[in-house]
Amino acid sequence: MADASIEEMSFETAMAELEQVVTQLERGDVALDASISLYERGAALKGHCEAKLKSAEEKVAAITLNGDGQPIGVVPLDAG
């Protein structure tokens, strides 16, 4: 899985690999050079997941309420 292009990964795939990276690093039985490579891959996976989440948040619609607190529709979330 480490050869997969991060940019092409789904959020779920990237999160699963990030969890594996964290587990390996926490075990502490990885050589220093491998640990550095794992850390760098983990940082890239984290960034990819954050970008995917931000993109999803921008697509979320905010529910608008009337004066009585009843939902009356949705408007695009202003992520600006």
**Tens of pLDDT along 3-60?**
569 999 999 999 999 999 999 999 999 999 999 999 999 999 999 999 999 888 777 6
The answer, yes or no, to whether residue 74 has pLDDT greater than 60, is: yes
User: Could you identify the residue written with the tokens 């995917």?
Assistant: 52
Backbone angles phi, psi at 53, to 5 degrees: -65, -45
* All domains in the chain, ordered by first residue: 6-76 (1.10.287)
pLDDT of residue 1: 45
- Paired strand residues for 71: 65
Predicted TM-score (pTM) above 0.75: no
Q: How far apart are CA 12 and CA 17, in angstroms?
A: 9
**Tens of pLDDT along 54-65?**
888 777 667 777
Q: How far apart are CA 47 and CA 63, in angstroms?
A: 29
